[in-house]
Amino acid sequence: METKKPKVFIVEDQSIVAFDIECCLMNNNFDVVGRASSSIELQGRIDDAKPDLVLMDIRIEGDFDGIECAKTVQNKFKIPVVFLTAHSDKNTIERAAKTSAFGYILKPYNEQALITNIQLALSRHKEEQKSIQIKDGFSKTLDSLNIGVIIFNTDGLISFLNIAARVLTGWDKEEVLNQPLEYFMINRNLNKNLDVEAIINKGIDLCQVDVFAKNNEMPHPMAFDLRISSIYRDGKLTGGMAFIQNHGTTISTVNKQSQKSQKKSSNTIEVLEMCPWCKMWKDEKDDWNQIEEFIAMNASATISHYVCPKCYDKLLAGIKFTLEKDPSRRMN
C-alpha cells in the first residue's frame, strides 16, 4: 500500500523562490497542493487545497504579512504553519513566537533543515491532535456523569468542571475557570474556606462544604458532600479531582431539620430489639410494632411500599407452585 504524501501549501511572493521550494519538496516525497503570494490568495484557495501544513514567508504581498496570515490559518483552519523568512530581527521573531508556529527557518535555507523542520512540525501537530481528541473524549465522558466533577491544578485553580457540577453549583464556566476552588467553598466541619492543599497532601478526602455561586444567582449557599482525589502524572502530583453531590437541601433547611431532630431525640431508642424473622420491633411498653412505625417516629422520610426484585421473583415462584398444585387449574 502506497504511503500518503504530506500535503504542503507554499506562501511566497517571489515566484523563483517558490518554484525552487516546490521542487525541493516534491523531490523529498511531499505533495505541493498550492502556491500563493498573498494572504487573500491563500484564504481563497486553502479550503480546496486542504493542506497538512503551510510554509509561510513573513514578507508577502497585501495588507497582512505572513505573521497575521498565520494566525488565521492556525485559528480558523487548524493547520500548522512553518515560517520561512530572511528576517531574524528581535521584533519579527517575537511576533512570530506569539502565533505558536511550528517552525522558523531562515533564508537562504538548507534543504535538509527545511525537510527536517517540516517533518517535525507535522509530527508535533499529529501528537497535539491526538491529545486534543483524548481530552475531548475525556470531557464528554465526565459530562455524561450525574455527579459533579471539578478538576484543578496544584495551586487549586479550576481547569475543568463538568455539566453536573455547573448545574449543582450554579457556577458559570467562564467565570470560575482559572479561579481558586477554595474561593467558592466553605468547609462546614471547620467553618472556614476549603484548604485544597491540605486535602490533597494530608489525604482528607471527605467533608461537607457550603458552595457559593459567584454570579449571585443562588439565593442560599448549598450544602454538598465533597470528595477529592489526587491526580498524578509520571509520579508527580499535578492537581486533584473533586467530586460533589447534592447534600439534599440548602443551609437554612439543614438548620430547620437539625431542630426537628433535636425535638425527636427524646423518642430515639438507643438499642432496638427487632425480630430477625418478621422484622417487628419492641417498644418501651413491650408491644411489638411494624418497622414502619419506628421509621415514622425517627425520620422525616415518607414511607412508600415497593416489592424488591428478589421478593418479586419469590412471589412469582410461589404463584407458579400454587397453580401447578391446584387440580382445577392444571392444563391437560
Q: What is the predicted pLDDT for the residue at 118?
A: 94
For the beta sheet containing 103-106, the strands, ordered from the edge strand earlier in sequence to the opposite edge, are 31-36, 7-11, 53-56, 81-85, 103-106
Per-residue pLDDT of the chain (332 residues; tens, 9 = 90+): 557 899 999 999 888 999 999 999 999 999 999 999 888 898 889 989 999 999 999 888 877 888 989 888 888 888 999 998 888 788 888 888 888 889 898 888 889 989 999 999 999 999 888 888 877 887 888 888 878 888 888 888 888 888 888 877 777 777 788 888 877 777 776 777 777 777 776 655 566 666 655 444 544 456 677 788 778 888 888 888 888 876 543 333 333 433 444 444 445 556 677 665 566 777 778 788 877 677 767 766 666 555 466 655 554 454 333 333 444 444 44
For the chain, the domains span 7-139, 145-253, 268-332
Output the CATH code of domain 145-253.
Answer: 3.30.450.20
Same topology for domains 7-139 and 145-253, yes or no? Answer: no
Fold held by 7-139: Rossmann fold (3.40.50)
| pLDDT at residue number 216 | 47
**48, 47, 93: which is closest to 66 by C-alpha?**
93
How is residue 4 written as a grid cell? 500518503
Residue 315 pLDDT: 47
pLDDT for res 230: 79
Q: What is the pLDDT of residue 268?
A: 53
| pLDDT on residue 95 | 87
Give the full edge-to-edge strand order of the sheet including 192-193. 158-161, 148-153, 236-250, 222-233, 206-211, 185-187, 192-193
Residue 4 to residue 20: CA distance in whole angstroms: 23
- Distance CA(242)–CA(207), nearest Å, equals 11
pLDDT of 326 reads 44
61, 79, 62: which is closest to 70 by C-alpha?
Answer: 79
Instruction: Report pLDDT for 13.
Output: 87
pLDDT confidence of residue 199 = 72
Residue 308: per-residue pLDDT: 62
Note the pTM of the prediction, 2 decimals: 0.51
* 284: amino acid identity, one letter: E
